[in-house]
Amino acid sequence: MDKLREDFLEMISFENVQWDRVWEETVATLYMTGYATLFTFILGLIVGIILFLSGRSDGRFIRVIYLVTAFLVNLFRAVPFIILIILLIPFTSEIMGTIMGVKGALPALILSSAPFYARLVEIALKEIDKGVIEAAQSMGANIWHIIFKVLIPESLPALISGITVTAIMLVGATAIAGVIGAGGLGTLAYMVGHTRGQPDVTLVATIAILIIVFIIQIVGDLTSKAVDKR
């Protein structure tokens, strides 16, 4: 009982915490999450639009495109993140030049979350009233008009709330990646907090992560609401 009490007191004493180090790792987490979210958004949006458009058509060739895309999406979603990191090591070291640090973590982060976001995009696009797409076609819109003037603006609230969920998921993923050396708050909590037996550091890292998550959620909700004119 006394041991537990001691641990707890140490945890809230913050005596081991190096605040400049905490700030450094927070920035690293933000950096990883930010870049991963940006690329996930772009890649997921493209793949989601391909899924949506090819899923609507009944031409044979387009059907094949749909099936291949859907297969890849399901595949990358099925592989657990931690295993994906390991599988991607050769690829990562080839294109990023390293498998460590923030740069080394990005490919796995993006490739694990983009398929998830692509599905969210597909669902969002399916919610668009078919009549509106047809109206655009009846005015002579081509495929690019439809993508940029109808599909994206008309599903924007759902695209934003989707990327919010994905970004929060990515914060969690960066923490996992941190355990195997990606840097950021995950590394801080594990390498310093856990292995050196400094629970106060772990607590501070956790609080920093929670603050990041809440801020993402609030900004996402407000933006989604602001663009929704329905």
Partner 1 sequence: MIEIKDVSKLFKTKSGDVQAVDNVSIQVDKGEIFGVIGYSGAGKSTLIRLLNGLETVSSGDIRIGDDYINALSGRALRQKRQKVSMIFQHFNLLWSRTVEQNISFPLEIAGVNRRERKKRVKELIDLVGLTGREKAYPSQLSGGQKQRVGIARALSNEPEVLLCDEATSALDPETTDEVLDLLLDIREKLGLTIVLITHEMYVIRKICDRAAVMENGRVVEIGEIKQLFRNPQSSVTKRFVKDDIDDEETNVSFEALREQFPNAELVKLSFVGSKSKTPIVSKIIKKYDVDMNIIAGSIKHTNKESFGHLHVTIDTSPSVLEAITKDLAAENVKLEVETHG
CB of 142 to partner 1, least distance (A): 6
Q: Given its phi and psi angles, is residue 183 left (phi above 0), alpha (psi -120 to 50 degrees) or beta?
A: left
Under the binding rule (CB under 8 A), the answer on residue 145 touching partner 1 is yes
CB of 69 to partner 1, least distance (A): 24
Residues 30 and 212: beta-carbon distance below 8 Å: yes
Q: Is residue 39 classed exposed, middle or buried when 0-12, 13-18 and 19+ CB atoms within 10 A define those classes?
A: middle
Other residues' Cβ atoms within 10 Å of the Cβ of residue 223: 16
CB of 59 to partner 1, least distance (A): 13
If the CB atoms of residues 138 and 195 are measured against partner 1, the closer one turns out to be 138
Under the binding rule (CB under 8 A), the answer on residue 63 touching partner 1 is no
Q: Which residue has the tokens 């003037």?
A: 149
Nearest to 174 by CA among 23, 28, 74: 28
Region from 6-14, 16-24, 148-156, 183-191 binding partner 1, contact rule CB under 8 A: 148-156
d(CA 47, CA 201): 40
Residues 128 and 170: beta-carbon distance below 8 Å: no
d(CA 136, CA 107): 37
CB of 154 to partner 1, least distance (A): 5
If the CB atoms of residues 152 and 180 are measured against partner 1, the closer one turns out to be 152
Q: What are phi and psi of 206, to 5 degrees?
A: -65, -45
What is the footprint of partner 1 within residues 114-143 (CB under 8 A)?
Answer: 129, 131-132, 134-142
Under the binding rule (CB under 8 A), the answer on residue 230 touching partner 1 is yes
CB of 16 to partner 1, least distance (A): 52
d(CA 223, CA 160): 7
If the CB atoms of residues 105 and 150 are measured against partner 1, the closer one turns out to be 150
Under the binding rule (CB under 8 A), the answer on residue 90 touching partner 1 is no
Nearest to 96 by CA among 108, 112, 86: 108
CB of 217 to partner 1, least distance (A): 23
Q: Which of 21, 56, 63, 149 binds partner 1 (CB under 8 A)?
A: 149
Under the binding rule (CB under 8 A), the answer on residue 97 touching partner 1 is no
- Give the residues lining the site for partner 1 (CB under 8 A): 129, 131-132, 134-142, 145, 149-150, 153-154, 156, 227, 229-230
